Amino acid sequence: MQTAGANTDTAPLQSVKRQKPHYVPPLERSFLTVKETCQVLGMGTTKLYERLAAGDLRKVRDGGRTLVAVDSIRDYIARLDANNQA
């Protein structure tokens, strides 16, 4: 017995494939999350927030999220490299 409005045919749902979201490598985006930035720089969140407070990295707020500008990450890495070569 079928109830009114019930769809028992699931064949169309089984044929729909889920598409993976388009992957963009972290340093090709404009901003990274705090977690992603920590992974890229190999530092913990406490150290990252210290670098943000010192102005070594630039952040923006998007609602409740803190995002770090990728260009500031590149500049920070370049400064570290220059200081280590001097």
In tens, the pLDDT along 29-47 reads 899 999 999 999 999 999 9
> 66: which 2 tokens?
């803190």
Q: Is the pTM of this model over 0.75?
A: no
* Average pLDDT score, the chain: 84
Is 76:56 a contact under the CB 8 Å cutoff? yes
CA distances to 12, 45, 47, 67, 83 from 26, in Å: 36, 17, 20, 12, 24
The CATH code of the domain at 27-85 is 1.10.10
The pLDDT-based confidence of 8 (bands split at 50, 70, 90) is: low
